[in-house]
Structure 1
């Protein structure tokens, strides 16, 4: 198998994974639509009579102040789904504005062909019971996983499946990242899927899989892999390099900053601050690709399930600089 065949195989696997994720999270489209209807967003923009800025929209909605920070992300996915159109800011306008599309016009209460009743009945809580995880269960997702072995197993198994594809792509496309490294801590490394793949491809590299006791308890290490129990919010083993695979999107900025500062303290060589981040990078996607939509699904999922979010390059850079990285 030549290089072109390998690259084509990886691309097909990645597209397959993206499609599965997209279909898994497709319900977020429905829930976002329900939010728009419940908050009367189409009517608010229609009543305004011209492109409506985000701040003006927020001010017009009947929503608790603690929830206003989520409206921009809701509008992001609704715009990507075609329910609103984004009116780009000019030099004199500091924020984007929104206008109705044909799809959102038929969600107006007084539209002669209003379709507002259909999603309202289909998405009624009596049928779907969609709630924020913490509101529904009284504890965070992570606390619940620590108490419920079945949920803990399902989550770890899901992360293992995800890591299989990610590891193949990372090793194939990012070999240079690991050249010259002698040791690596995979923080929140789960059952060690990625660490095992890296250790196999780079025999000189000593790897530690660092995770909570409920995740790594009972797992057997090898000559190149060691499992270490601990809490990344307290301390991380000191090694040459640290890897965070889909960790930061689980947490808000404050928690991410804390994690990064602990990472900086843990790096053995202060001359080379090697922190490897494998995570979603979100931006102002305007295309119609399934990958872009999946990223937005993930962002909404992090908002509902945990306290995290997906970030763009600027957001990530700000966190790194704030943590003291150059």
Structure 2
């Protein structure tokens, strides 16, 4: 059963990746991205900001950041070539790394005279639907989403659980945004001495089953978080923009004792944007976060560190896993 679940997860990921790549490719063609790079010279590499300066938009900064995420998907699939450029000064605002993009043999043939559409300009200006508000109005969709997150989180956490030994030293662990408590139950069943607190929105907690070693607590993580020795944030920060993440981490800071810590499990974007399956998966997830959430995104390690530093977490330890990055 476990092998079948892994296989289904991999196939779903690959199919989603194919659809996402086609969406990114269409956007680049209609925005004349390949034409703009070609016009700059045969070996030109342009940043997202340089490309967006050739496209009419009301908010160039926001549009450039959105276009960056489209270009990274194309780069991860070898449709564009990528050069990683080290940021100057203090690593840039939010620790954002910089990449430049050039044409490959594949993309040189994609320059066309098609016009930029109003729909795509609206996308570049950040007019996205808010996924969680929408699901709040669609109970069946919310149920399917929760079931998907439960299975996906279980598969991802298996790797973390094998490689990270820090759970055995805990006395108390609170899983913020923990859903119905599946991940926490895995930890408390393996380490019965750990007191587990599962914290999520009231309608999620109402559907959560009784689990050995787990106490369910309802609340809003952006308003307050119960006091706990250690806090787990598994695949939570990628749903939100920087300001929401800082608010959440600040609430975590206030809930922790002096020697407390936050364990963050997230897939991180490599600054080198390597052309492999793992890198493509992260970039594709970032692309879909852009489409489905209001500000959600995958981040580089520097961006994660900047979020922590902004609210007082000055010590950050990194643990690498097969699926991405594991941070403290």
TM-score range, shorter chain: 0.7 to 0.9
Tell me how far 1:96 sits from its aligned partner.
4.2
Deviation at 1:87, TM superposition (A): 4.1
Q: Aligned pair count?
A: 296
Q: In the alignment, is the contact (CA less than 8 A) between 1:22 and 1:297 conserved in 2?
A: no
Match for 2:103 among 100, 103, 126? 100
Query: CA contact under 8 A between 2:78 and 2:275: conserved in structure 1?
Result: no
Q: Which runs of 5+ in 2 are unaligned?
A: 89-96, 315-328
Determine the structure 2 residue equivalent to 1:38: 30
2-structure distance, mates of 1:315, 1:15? 32
- 1:25-174 aligned within 5 A: 25-49=17-41, 50-54=43-47, 55-65=49-59, 66-87=62-83, 89=85, 96-109=99-112, 140-174=130-164
| Residue matched to 1:308 | 296
User: 1:21 Cα deviation (Å)?
Assistant: 1.7
Pick one of 191, 196, 200 that aligns with 1:202.
191
Q: Deviations over 1:208-229 (max 9, x none)?
A: 1111112111434345111111
- The 8 Å contact of residues 180 and 207 in structure 2, kept in 1 or not, is answered as no
Deviation digits for residues 82-131 of structure 1 (CA, Å, limit 9, x no counterpart): 22212455999x95433211111111227xxxxx89xx9xxxx9xxxxx8
CA displacement, residues 17-59 of structure 1 (integer Å, 9 cap, x when unaligned): 4453232232110110011011100111111225143132121
- Single out whichever of 188-197 and 53-62 deviates more from structure 2: 53-62
The question of whether the paired residues in 2 share the 8 Å contact of 1:84 and 1:100 is answered with yes
TM-score norm. by structure 2 comes to 0.81
User: Is contact 1:280-1:310 (8 Å) kept?
Assistant: yes
Map Cα deviations across residues 128-175 of structure 1 (whole Å, 9 max, x no partner).
xxx89x958xx521111112110110010001111222333232221x
Higher mean C-alpha displacement, 176-185 vs 12-21: 12-21
Offset at residue 284 of structure 1 (A): 3.1
Q: CA separation in 2, counterparts of 1:143 and 1:172?
A: 35
Identify if the C-alpha distance between structure 1 residues 47 and 80 changes in structure 2 by more than 3 Å, giving closer, same or farther: same
1:279 to 258, 266, 287: 266
The 8 Å contact of residues 167 and 197 in structure 1, kept in 2 or not, is answered as no
Gaps of 5+ in 1: 1-9, 111-115, 126-130
Q: Structure 1 residues 163, 52: CA separation in 2 closer, same or farther (over 3 Å shift)?
A: closer
Q: Which residue of 217, 231, 236 maps to 2:220? A: 231
CA distance, structure 2, for counterparts of residue 238 and residue 252 of structure 1: 24
**Structure 2 partner of 1:299:** 286
Distance of 2:86 and 2:305 partners within structure 1: 25
- 1:165-191 deviation digits (Å, cap 9, x = unpaired): 2333232221x2112211111000001
Tell me, what secondary structure is at the counterpart of 2:312? coil
Report SS of the residue matched to 2:169. coil
SS of residue in 2 equivalent to 1:85: strand
- For the 8 Å contact 2:246–2:310, the answer to whether it is kept is yes
RMSD between aligned alpha carbons? 3.0
Question: Could you say which residue in structure 2 is the equivalent of 1:7?
Answer: none
